[in-house]
Amino acid sequence: MRSVLITGSTDGIGAESARVFGAQGDDVIVSGRDASKGAMVVDEIVQNGGSARFIPADLSSLDALHDLAAEAGDVDVLVNNAGMAPVSATVGQDAGVFDKTFALNIRAPYFLTQAVAPGMLERGRGAIVNVSSVAASVAVPLMSVYSATKAALSELTRTWAAEFADRGVRVNAVAPGPVETAMFHSMTPEKAKEFNEATMLNRAATTREVADVVAFLASDKASYMTGAVVPVDGGGTAL
């Protein structure tokens, strides 16, 4: 049984990924700031015959990040999913929000990987999956800060893959387009239609469609994949 740590897994893609890993027999560590939502995800996995526990963590804090890594123990699969997506014009961007976004979207996965990877490297096996975004490679107005962090995460994916490959640890990323999360459903119908029409399939992905790719990249079926950033975007980046 593998130990799978998923950050930001109390909702959205992270929670659905936790359910998928739990259903396939992994021991899932659900993590996030909302203990009640985390307990719900854990209960659902356990009630369906899986194994899971919740570790609370606010990854904007380095101390909380190190506490999470210590409590998680040996991790076979790390999914760096936690993040935030501020919407603001560059000329009006708040510096505090800028710093918080980089802390959560880049500093957190960087130093959590730094904490977890040594055990993987010592054991000679492991998989890391980063949740990037199509916004890392296409222009999305009003999301300059988010796009910059996701571009950095995609590049970290390639760099970590090169650093860890010779010791049996694979690193890949998914790059979702529009996904049916709470943020997507909070959009106006006009804005949601605009996002949908930016894909070939003319719709947003379900969280399960993204979670299945996350689980695939962490599986032995993807044993020859490392350094890849896989678009899960309904063909949006191919247009």
Which residues belong to the active site?
Answer: 146
Contact 80, 59 (CB under 8 A): no
Rounded Cα gap, residues 214 and 132, in angstroms:
11
Distance from C-alpha of 180 to C-alpha of 83, rounded to nearest angstrom: 16
Number of other CB atoms surrounding residue 9 within 10 Å: 30
Do the Cβ atoms of 150 and 173 come closer than 8 Å?
A: no
C-alpha 147/C-alpha 132 separation (Å) is 9
170 touches 145 (CB < 8 A): no
β-sheet bridge partners, residue 55:
31
Question: Are 80 and 112 a contacting pair, CB within 8 Å?
Answer: yes
Please check whether residue 132 is in contact with residue 157, taking contact to mean a CB–CB distance below 8 angstroms: yes
Query: How many CB atoms within 10 Å of residue 193?
Result: 12
